[in-house]
Amino acid sequence: MSAAAATGGAGRERRSRRRRRQANPAADAEMAAARAAARRDETRIIHDRLALDVRAVLDRFMPGADWTRQGGRGGWVRCGGLHGGSGTSFRVSLDSGFWQDFSSGESGSLIDLIQAVEGGSLAEAFASARAFLGMADESPEAKARAEAAAERAAAAREERRQAAERAAAEEREKVRGLWKRAREAYCFRLTPAERYFTQVRGIAVPQPCRMLDLAYWDTSRDTPRQVGTFPAVVTPFVSERRTIEALHLTYLDPRPPHGKLDPGPDAKGEPMPAKKFLGTPPDDAWIRLTEARPVMAVGEGIETVATATFLKPDWGGWVAGSVDRLALIRFPPIVERVVVLGECGCAQAKGPDGQLRFKPDGAPLIPAEEATYRAARAYAALPHKPEVEIKWFQGDLNDVLRATEG
């Protein structure tokens, strides 16, 4: 058959289908609805199959990511972003595949993740998902293999869920046991912790803080190494149910004047932090330096917020623990005004209106500054609509004030 004849035949078939649709529009609508339902069913199947083994999906589409396990409820893992790297601003649920990028405000399903990573269209993301799942070949043998793989993945997922629940329960017991020790041993007078706040920082000791001598571990190695035992300020993350969910640890130098500990470099040559978390705080837990009050100061660090409440005794203060957790804090209706303490300091604050801002030198905002604006927008959107203000500082507020006094 010639090409012209083939083209003519295809044209006649299209015209015939069009005439049939015009003659029976109800049947055509029914067929369209059936096709749409089939597509929805396929979409649901793809989502369900991907969620059976989220870890395998991450290994395939984000192979360079440096994942850390969050633990606790939900079974989350974290990394630095969609394209990998270290950090905690990007997280994925190992149960559902739902992901959130706190640096950009984006979130979505595993299909959305595949599309974002590959940079293609949604249709191309579905094609990649089908290929990954082996759904391109729909022979009986392929279906049987896919069903068997899904059953194995489901069993593995349930085993991981149970293991995560056991680990989370053990972690909570450890956190609450250590907090009980800290409360029973509470005596700040003449301790390194008291000197740290009153002499090094020049402020009163925050009410919920306690002190213990604790081991500091270098966890960058395959086998963790104990660096030593040092005094540590212990402060709880308290949930909205008023349960202790995690602890914030600030290790101190045992030598006067008892500033923050310098633990030295880790196995990779990177400086180790003086501050650590014991346990993983869930989204509804943060550090409550005071009860809720009409005016609340909120920030990333304990020293920053404690300085604000020391200078403004009628203010309350809550601490996120890290800048990417700022937007998670929720204030009750008693709070009429929220003062967000931004520690990155160069951005011009014009109110939480959601517009992209630039620093005075024209440089774009860094992720921490974006996270501060995102938190302010979240507070302003609360049902009782508190007044929200951002106060920027070139670094830690306490450091800024002490430098000014000096």
Check: CB of residue 320 under 8 Å from CB of residue 329: yes
Q: Is residue 22 part of a domain?
A: no
Cβ pair 88, 119 in contact under 8 A: no
User: Are both 81 and 145 inside the same structural domain?
Assistant: yes
CATH of the domain at 75: 3.90.580
Nearest to 316, CA basis, from 338, 340, 297, 299: 297
The pLDDT-based confidence of 12 (bands split at 50, 70, 90) is low
- In whole angstroms, give the CA distance from residue 105 to residue 380: 16
Q: Do 242 and 325 share a domain, yes or no?
A: no
> How far is it, in rounded angstroms, from Cα 284 to Cα 99?
17
Residue 5 lies in a domain: no
Closest CA to 282 of 329, 349, 214: 329
The larger pLDDT score, comparing residue 75 to residue 306, is at: 306
Q: Does one domain contain both 191 and 213? A: yes
In a domain, 41, yes or no: no
Angle value at C-alpha 406, between 368 and 195, nearest 5 degrees: 80
Task: Examine residue 92 and state whether it is found in any structural domain, yes or no.
Answer: yes
Q: Please provide residue 390's backbone torsions phi and psi, each rounded to the nearest 5 degrees.
A: -105, 130
Please give the residue that has the higher pLDDT: either 28 or 357: 28
Where residue 368 falls among pLDDT bands split at 50, 70, 90? confident
242 lies in a domain? yes
- Read off the DSSP letter of residue 218: E
Residue 95: its pLDDT value, please? 82
Is 102 exposed, middle or buried, given 0-12, 13-18 or 19+ CB atoms closer than 10 A? buried
Per the domain annotation, does 37 fall within a domain?
no
Half-sphere exposure of 170 (CA within 13 A, CB side): 7
pLDDT tens string 240-287: 999 999 999 999 999 998 999 999 998 888 899 999 999 989 899 999
- Out of 282, 307, 328, a domain closes at 282
Task: Please give the average per-residue pLDDT across 22-45, as a whole number.
Answer: 63
Q: Are residues 353 and 371 in the same domain?
A: yes
Can you read off the two tokens belonging to residue 23?
A: 């003659």
Which of 282, 305, 326 terminates a domain? The answer is 282
- Within this chain, do residues 265 and 320 fall inside the same structural domain, yes or no? no
Angle in degrees, 0-180, between the axes of helices 3-23 and 25-52, rounded to the nearest 10: 110
Structural domain including 78 reads 54-160
Domain count of the fold of the chain? 3
At 70, is the secondary structure helix, strand, or coil? strand
Other CB atoms within a 10 A radius of the CB of residue 12 amount to: 10
In a domain, 260, yes or no: yes
How would you classify the pairing of strands 285-288 and 225-239? antiparallel
- Going by pLDDT thresholds of 50, 70 and 90, the confidence category of residue 357 is very low
- A 10 A CB-CB count for 346 gives 15
239 and 151 in a single domain? The answer is no
Distance from C-alpha of 38 to C-alpha of 49, rounded to nearest angstrom:
16
323, 379: one domain: yes
Domain's final residue, options 282, 317, 348: 282
CATH number, residue 340: 3.40.50
> For residue 400, which amino acid is it?
V
Alpha-carbon distances of 75 from 60, 103, 112, 243, 308, rounded to whole Å: 19, 20, 20, 19, 35
**Mean pLDDT lowest among 115-119, 280-284, 361-365, 383-387:** 361-365
Do residue 318 and residue 381 come from a single domain? yes
Is 40 a domain residue? Answer: no
